[in-house]
Amino acid sequence: MTKPTLLLIHGMGNHTPDSFKAQFDTTMEEVFKLYPSLSTKTFGDYVDVKSIGYNDLFEDYRQGQDNKDRFNGLLDSLPTSTSKRLFQKILNLQGNLADDQFFNSHWLDVLIYRFSTLGTNVQLRVAKAVAQAIIDEQGFAQRVHVLGHSLGTSVMHDSLAKAYGEVTDDIPDPLSVITQKLGSLHFVANTSRLLQSFQKVKNSSVKPGPDGCTNRYREYRHQLDPVARIKPFNPSGNGSWISDYAWVEEYYRLIPLTTVTNEHGDTHSIEHYLYNPKTHLQIFEDVGGIEIPETEIRQGKMAYLSHSLQGVAEKAERAFKDISISDTATVFDFVKAVKALEQFIEKLGGQYNG
């Protein structure tokens, strides 16, 4: 039997499909070293990992005009006065855009995706890639899994909402939640509720269960990741989102993380999330069917905890204590959170890469 497929969707920053897959593969190599029975194997032995990129669409936009024209053009294209005021507020926070490469390579991604028509182009690319993966699996959609990180979680949600939505000119043959249900979705540092636009997260087909597009829906949220704290997606088991049965059987699962192992405090990085056993063991179970003896799991967890950095965690707790988690949080709060994380990492001698 062929291996199942895992599609990766990157977050903010200058990623390519290859660079993000390399981050994933390298981290999984370190993960496998935690468990003796996996130490001579790779994640690729169990799963066919493919990466979907979209940064090239943003890069074309960045390079097409000078900063002033680019930002003014984006500002003029915003549909409402509220979004215009919000965008201007973000620009005022940043200050000198021309000299800030970080703004142009990270924050601008979010603004372009959320406030420009390029967001639709991104969604259509990802939707087509998911449909192709199902074809490649001879129609067995449950052997297709998707993992998004940071901004990539919003891209994943919106793309699937389109792919499994109504018939449109762009999606003339939408996927079926009945016959083409995906195996699992993995939202790492989820931003989908904060950046939701044409489709509210709680009202879309991107959910587990009979009327959703997936069998399993997993969220991974680190309590010291300021980005994941902004307007989090917190569904409840009252039957309003998924059925009581699906809730009790944990078709949806939130995996809260607390341990810090990154010496520079980059609690948002995909590497930091994947290295945590709570994350990778869930992915092993849902995606690869990778079984590890219970004794090795305990040993692996202890080996992981030996790398924990309590001092860094305490500093992060103080640095991010004022990050908003309210339901009124906006993209402006998101930008402030990313800025706080960037400054914190640099203070500890590192560099934030998204």
The structure tokens 């706080």 sit at 340
CA atoms of 313 and 234, how far apart (whole Å)? 24
Which residue ranges in the chain fall short of pLDDT 70?
A: 1, 62-107, 324, 326
Q: What are the C-alpha distances in Å from 40 to residues 29, 43, 118, 149?
A: 10, 10, 43, 27
**Predicted pLDDT at 98:** 45
Q: How many CA atoms lie within 13 Å of 138's alpha carbon, on the beta-carbon side?
A: 4
Find where tokens 């192992």 sit.
261
Q: What does the pLDDT read at residue 14? A: 83
**H or E, element range at 51:** strand 48-52
Give the pLDDT of residue 79. 55
| Whole-number pLDDT of residue 255 | 97
pLDDT, residue 97, reads 46
Express as a percent the part of the chain with pLDDT over 90.
65
Structure tokens at 52: 């979907």
Using one digit for the tens of pLDDT, what is the confidence trace for 307-317? Answer: 999 999 999 99
CA distances from 9 to 54, 125, 126, 147, 261 (A): 9, 11, 8, 6, 23
Give pTM, 2 decimals.
0.92
CA angle 220, 221, 226 (to 5 degrees): 145
Query: Could you tell me the two tokens for 280?
Result: 């990778």
Measured over the CA atoms of residue 119, residue 120, residue 121 and residue 126, the dihedral's sign is: positive
Q: What stretch of H or E contains 304?
A: helix 294-305
Tally of CB atoms within 10 A around 292: 17
- Asked if residues 270 and 286 have their Cβ atoms less than 8 Å apart, the reply is no
H or E segment and range at residue 149: strand 144-149
Q: Compute how many other C-beta atoms are within 10 angstroms of the C-beta atom of residue 215.
A: 18
CB-based contact 199:295 (threshold 8 Å) = no
Decide if 222 contacts 279 (C-beta within 8 A): no
